[in-house]
Amino acid sequence: MQLTKCLLIVCGLLMVSSCASYPPAEYISEHGRGYVVASWYGEKFHGRPTSSGERYDMYGMTCAHKTLKFGTKLRVTNPDNNKSVKVTVNDRGPFIRGRDLDLSYGAARKIGLTDKGVGRVRMEKLGRDMRYAKRVPFTLSEASGHLTIQVGSFTESSNAGRLKRGLEIAYSNVYITTVNLDGQKFHRVRIGKFTDIERAHSVAERLADEGYSILITSRTD
């Protein structure tokens, strides 16, 4: 009886030790630090445009985040081996529920996450590269009628669809319209239908500050 009791105590201590060795999930604190669930993306998207407009380089030190502004710099640490990497947010994602950060293949490899695929990491904000911030190329006096905000135009519908999906994380009424120009089809990703010029400009400024290249234009439908 005494031996059984001792074994139960030892097992309990081992379970507590095991749980304590892996940090619990938590929201990013006001200081910009915390644990998140990270994954990575690679060859399938290599060379394709990211939500920021840059071409995705699977070997570069970049990442996708759902809401952080483009140009945000992060230090990401794998608690399993204490390896760290510095990355820059230049894309939106991940789109799988329960995941918070998508590292480039190169960044994930540096911290030993490629084999595991998905894991909890420590994320810390380091600042922002303000070269990613954009301005609204628009004069209010030029607008008339219903307006919309164009965020991207692509010849490949899959690229337009991916940008639309990223925008829908934080914005409503995101849609794609197609147009033929000189025999080539373009897929335009747009947001909203505005009758108020000031409102359209306000939303456009928010998008530009996040790092999107935008254009306020007329909406004919």
What does the DSSP assignment read for 15-71? HHHHHHTSPPP-PPPTTSEEEEEEEEE-GGGTTSB-TTSPBP-TTSSEEEESSSPTT
| pLDDT tens, residue by residue, 161-215 | 999 999 999 999 999 999 999 889 999 999 999 998 889 999 999 999 999 999 9
Reading the block at residue 36, the tokens are 């998140």
Please give the pLDDT value at position 74: 98
Please give the pLDDT value at position 20: 33
Please give the pLDDT value at position 143: 55
Separation CA 199–CA 122 (nearest Å): 38
Sheet holding 184-194, edge to edge: 174-181, 184-194, 147-154, 215-218
Separation CA 89–CA 72 (nearest Å): 5
Reading the block at residue 74, the tokens are 């992060």
Q: Could you give phi then psi for residue 151, rounded to 5 degrees?
A: -110, -20
pTM of the complete model: 0.83
> Which domains does the chain possess?
24-129 (2.40.40.10), 140-218 (3.30.70.1070)
Please give the pLDDT value at position 6: 42
Tell me how far CA of residue 64 lies from CA of 1, 14, 39, 213, in angstroms.
Answer: 56, 37, 10, 17
Please give the pLDDT value at position 82: 97
For the cut 60, the answer to whether the pLDDT of residue 23 exceeds it is no
| pLDDT tens, residue by residue, 55-112 | 999 999 999 999 999 999 999 999 999 999 999 999 999 999 999 999 999 999 999 9
| pLDDT tens, residue by residue, 120-152 | 999 999 999 999 999 998 655 555 678 999 999
Separation CA 193–CA 187 (nearest Å): 18
The type of residue at 87 is: V
Please give the pLDDT value at position 220: 82
Length of the chain, in residues: 221
For the cut 80, the answer to whether the pLDDT of residue 46 exceeds it is yes
Reading the block at residue 184, the tokens are 């080539």
| pLDDT tens, residue by residue, 25-34 | 444 555 578 9
Please give the pLDDT value at position 10: 37
Q: H/E element holding 3?
A: helix 2-20
Q: H/E element holding 128?
A: strand 119-128
- With a CB cutoff of 8 Å and minimum separation 6, the contacts of 2 are none
